[in-house]
Amino acid sequence: MRIRNLGVLARVDAGKTTVTEVMLFLSGAIRSIGDVDKGTSLSDRLEVEKRRGISVRATTLTFAWKGVQINLVDTPGHIDFAAEVERSLRVLDCAIVVLSAVEGIQSHTESIWAALEARNIPVILFVNKLDRVGSDVLSVVNDMRERFSPNVVLVNQPVAVGTTEASVSDLDDDGVAALAEMVATKDDRILERYLKEELLAVGDLSDAIARCVAHRELFPVFCGVAKNGVGVESLLDGVIAYFPDAVSPIESPTSGVVFRLDHDQKFGRIAGVRLYAGRLKNRDTILNTTAGREEKVTQIKAFRGTRYEDTGILEAGDIGFVCGMPDIQIGDVLGDPGPVPGTYKLGEALLSVQAIPENEGDYTKLAEALQQLSSEDPHLNFTWFNDERELHVKIMGVIQTEILTEILGSRFGIKTRFDDPTVLYKETPATVGHGLEQYTMPKPCWAIVKYLIEPGERGSGVQYRSEVGVNDIRAKYQNEIADSIQDALRQG
């Protein structure tokens, strides 16, 4: 089975979710195109997404195009939900980056590009919204060549830009010549034909473009107006023609990673899993390498069209949804960790907020809800200060608290308010110093612990070692000291 694990990424309002909807419609996965503003788009499943017309969580949808299975991951475009993009990057083989023909490259677009570059993921670019007044495709393309890569190249032609009649056509002779010249600089076979002054059509260049795209040596640019369906079919054809198949060593030891968690009313806890090698079947048992325990698989599903469908099996190269692992966490590696790529950070939560229930009787219920939400999004890093009766989460921005308020109300039935956010600071010792803790109750209950504290290298984190032998102080007591340091540092 040929598979593309395809991400669609963009800054908010570039039209990314609309591109996804049109792809699903063209493939026959849905009968009508959803509208983001009306809350009818398939990839915006949460009620809060439907009401607000923005994506909050990444959504994985499976459909087929010209005999190839596409697992499409539609990611949020707002910076407050960058954590969803981070988790998605780990399971992608290729990506479409959507830009507006008016706004072009924006700050978050550059962050996305840097992440794709760091992960070495092949990219196709889609310049959307040709119909808007102020559209300037050539300016956007030139900007991409300066800020992204000089190997950005147009593969279709915008027509009537900035009008309601905006559309696309095949490249004209000058466009084909420019494309052929660019490909010739990357591929010796095309170079030989180019130097012989052969007349090359786009079809003659297709295989060479695919080889270059797979190695991030070329970045094709498609244009269109997604809301009108213009250019999206050509974009889908480009996904099939230019992106490589997912690698699928089925006979190798099983290897996968959990990249999302959902709580379904019918199926309970569902783990989104990308499998890099081997296969998983219903009722299989697999080692959770991260947690050091066995996990029992009860059901395996795919999300096709508008519902989960039983598949019973998940094979290398594919993405599926696995039931029956009640304690699984995002980021857990299943089986062999070797093939699983590392993580990438798009950003870090720099704000902390306290969640306060409107009804004091909901305090414990709110703590449990935040704990569940934190398991779905570990970046929330929920902390329960029991002595102070305070519940804290980390956020990227204030819009996140508005979304959390709505989710807590609609999903858990808890009316919640959040205090003003406070900035999280990183602290480090400026010079060498000492710490001292004494507990001098009557014998046998007494202890004195002295610490040498000194600055480490930037970015090295907190490192601890004991210079006292276990013959002097038992190992279990020394371990308690080490653990208490980490707990103490949570509050600075």
pLDDT in tens, 354-408: 999 999 899 999 999 998 888 888 888 888 887 788 899 998 888 888 889 988 9
Residue linked to tokens 């990611």: 75
How much is the pLDDT for 224?
95
| Cβ–Cβ < 8 Å for 153, 185 | no
Q: What is the largest CA-CA distance in the chain?
A: 96
Answer yes or no: is pLDDT of 446 > 80. Answer: no
Q: Which residue would you say has higher pLDDT here, 56 or 118?
A: 118
For the chain, the first-to-last Cα distance in angstroms comes to 52
Count CA atoms closer than 13 A to 439's CA, side-chain side.
Answer: 6
444 prior amide bond cis, ω within 30: yes
Residue linked to tokens 């109750």: 441
Answer yes or no: is pLDDT of 486 > 80. Answer: no
Answer yes or no: is pLDDT of 22 > 80. Answer: yes
Instruction: Look at 213-222, 332-341, 374-383, 443-452 and tell me which has the smallest mean pLDDT.
Output: 443-452
Q: What's the length of the chain?
A: 492
User: Which of 306, 309, 321, 308 is closest to 274 using CA atoms?
Assistant: 321
Instruction: Kindly report the average pLDDT of the chain as a whole number.
Output: 88
Residue 28 zone, left/alpha/beta (φ > 0; ψ -120 to 50; rest)? left
Q: Residue range 441-463: average pLDDT?
A: 81
DSSP state of 441: P
Residue 107 banded pLDDT, cuts 50, 70, 90: confident
Strands 157-159 and 167-169: antiparallel
Give percent of the chain with pLDDT exceeding 70. 93
What is the C-alpha to C-alpha distance for residues 209 and 233, in angstroms, rounded to an integer? 18
What is the C-alpha to C-alpha distance for residues 366 and 382, in angstroms, rounded to an integer? 11
Q: Within 10 Å of residue 260's Cβ, how many Cβ atoms?
A: 23
Instruction: Tell me phi and psi for residue 109, to 5 degrees.
Output: -60, -40
How much is the pLDDT for 483?
83
| Cβ–Cβ < 8 Å for 110, 428 | no
Residue 230 banded pLDDT, cuts 50, 70, 90: very high
What is the C-alpha to C-alpha distance for residues 283 and 245, in angstroms, rounded to an integer? 28
How much is the pLDDT for 256?
95
Answer yes or no: is pLDDT of 39 > 60. Answer: no
* 233 three-class SS: helix
Q: Residue range 47-72: average pLDDT?
A: 79
How much is the pLDDT for 43?
54
Q: Which residue would you say has higher pLDDT here, 396 or 416?
A: 416
In sequence order, what are the residues at sequence separation of 6 or more whose Cβ sits closer than 8 angstroms to the Cβ of residue 168? 130, 156, 157, 158, 159, 222, 223, 224, 230, 231, 234
| Token pair belonging to 130 | 């040709």
How much is the pLDDT for 116?
93
How much is the pLDDT for 357?
92
How much is the pLDDT for 145?
96
Answer yes or no: is pLDDT of 54 > 80. Answer: no
What is the C-alpha to C-alpha distance for residues 241 and 210, in angstroms, rounded to an integer? 7
Angle between helices 107-118 and 82-89 (to 10 degrees): 20
Q: What is the gyration radius of the CA atoms in the chain, in angstroms?
A: 26
How much is the pLDDT for 229?
93
Highest mean pLDDT of the ranges 7-21, 26-40, 296-310, 385-399: 7-21
Answer yes or no: is pLDDT of 127 > 70. Answer: yes
Residue linked to tokens 């002054």: 197
What is the C-alpha to C-alpha distance for residues 314 and 322, in angstroms, rounded to an integer? 9
User: Which of 322, 308, 262 is closest to 57 using CA atoms?
Assistant: 262
| Cβ–Cβ < 8 Å for 129, 15 | yes
How much is the pLDDT for 227?
92
| Cβ–Cβ < 8 Å for 99, 105 | yes
How much is the pLDDT for 88?
87
* 159 three-class SS: strand
Instruction: Look at 149-158, 185-194, 433-442 and tell me which has the smallest mean pLDDT.
Output: 433-442
What is the C-alpha to C-alpha distance for residues 294 and 325, in angstroms, rounded to an integer? 9
How much is the pLDDT for 207?
94
